[in-house]
Amino acid sequence: MSSTRSDRAIALVDCNNFYVSCERVFRPDLRHKPVIVLSNNDGNVVARSNEAKKLGIKFGTPFHECRDLIAQYQIHVFSSNYALYGDLSHRVMETLSMFSPHMEIYSIDEAFLDISFVPASERFAYAQRIQQTVAQWTEIPVSVGIGSTKTLAKLANHWAKHSDNACGIFDLTNCGNCDEILKNTPVEEIWGIGHRYAELLKKHGVYNALAFCKLPDFWIRTHMTIMGLRTAWELRGIACLALEEVAPPRKGIVSSRSFGIPVESFEALREAIVSYTARAAAKLRRQRSAASFLGVFVATNPFAREPQYSNFISYRLPHPTASSFVLIRYATECFAQIYRKGFRYKKAGVMLSEIVDESATTCGLFESPREVLRHQRVFTTIDEINKRFGRQTIFYAAEGIEQPWQMQRKFLSPRYTTCWKEIPVVHAN
DNA sequence: TCTGGGGTCCTAGGACCC
DNA sequence: TCTGGGGTCCTAGGACCC
């Protein structure tokens, strides 16, 4: 079980309470104070500072359910500011890329680094350097977990944050008693085991990671599919998950939002649909793909006691495309077919699927190649301008100007790093 | 009053075909 | 009376992740 463990070393670097840490970069007065960040539309709590966690604020709690605690303890509240988080994430990842030639950006706040080239005895110090450099260059605190597989690196990261000596670093490749660590890790903390499988395992008397990876392969395979079996092998130190250094293109792209207020009119809802389609199309072009299938959905608020309606319609495009013009045209047509008057809509969205490489796009039978090329030039230009000067610098008139349906973000902080108008100002006294 | 958004993969079962 | 066997494709649903 242990022979392969020391050969390979994967570090999982994870930003601590990432969204909260981002808010604190330009608000150092908020250090050591309870801070929370809300999901889109100021719906639920999605990030909490350690102080807020200690006060009993749980992940995912609806905002309105914690108002009392917020008032009582003067918790600082922020709406999600993705412009800020995305930019700071990029800076953290750039910094991390200096520490390994092989890196997988796993999410907005996590990356796996292959650090097998670092001798076992120096890995802890290496992790410290990572931590210090990221802190100095970006002000974002990170934790580092090291293991011989991705799953073990994840598990190590858990202990980096939760062990008594919590310095934010834990090296499982260099630890005296791995079995003891696995034994102290509850099954629900294992990466790849969610609450359903955790329940199932506990029902069978399996409570910790050590007991889990000692289960017979056949049992795991039968009850938890091949995915569960991979997880078990990874915990045993046998790598089943490769480092994905190049993100594979998305197979589906969804752009959807809940509205800040219920929307009833055909025109306002159509604005939202056009806006989401434009966003999805831009994502599509960014990964150099084209979509063959388009879906549109609308829904009322399932939590409200009022007439409910939801519908979804999909449409096979005449040929794969990434043209916003084309996609907007079909999305609008689809929307017109499912819209029903007299409902208070809360959410709408657009899905693009059956995604192919842009080189596979063909010119439609009744389109002129010149027209298609013209479209491509227009979008390349628009995308470039929006990239340089900020999203929505150029947008479609049909997206609307006022956009009363926009999501609610009452506690939004400035876009300190991505918008000239909101750049921080230093006052000299 | 107020409840997010965006992804992945696997499996079972049905339709259909030869 | 006997009532095959193997394959593909699609879909819905379930599990997971951040």
Q: pLDDT digits over A317-358, tens only? A: 888 899 999 999 999 999 999 999 999 999 999 999 989 888
Mean pLDDT of chain A: 91
Question: How far lies A172's CA from each of A90, A159, A179, A235, A427, in Å?
Answer: 28, 9, 10, 11, 47
Distance of alpha carbon A331 from alpha carbon A53, whole angstroms: 43
Q: A55 is written with which tokens? A: 């006060």
pLDDT of residue A165: 67
Q: A121 is written with which tokens? A: 């005895």
pLDDT of residue A302: 84
Assess whether A193 (CB) lies less than 7 A from strand C.
yes
pLDDT at A264 over 80: yes
- The dihedral through the CA atoms of A284, A285, A291, A296 has a sign that is positive
pTM for the model stands at 0.92
pLDDT, one tens digit per residue, over A113-131 is 999 999 999 999 999 999 9
Assess whether A55 (CB) lies less than 7 A from strand C.
no
pLDDT, one tens digit per residue, over A272-328 is 999 999 999 999 999 999 999 999 999 998 888 889 898 888 888 888 899 999 999
- Distance of A25 CA from C3 C1′ (whole Å): 74
- Distance of A247 CA from C13 C1′ (whole Å): 27
Q: Whose C1' is closest to the CA of A305: which nucleotide?
A: B1
The residue that leads in pLDDT, A303 or A212, is: A212
Give A38's strand partners: A45
Strand B: list positions under 7 Å from protein Cβ: 1-11
Angle, vertex CA A41, rays to CA A36 and CA A43, nearest 5: 55
pLDDT of residue A267: 94
State the helix-helix crossing angle for A217-235 and A150-162, rounded to 10 degrees. Answer: 70
Strand C: list positions under 7 Å from protein Cβ: 14-18
pLDDT, one tens digit per residue, over A53-110 is 999 999 999 999 999 999 999 999 999 999 999 999 999 999 999 999 999 999 999 9
pLDDT of residue A206: 96
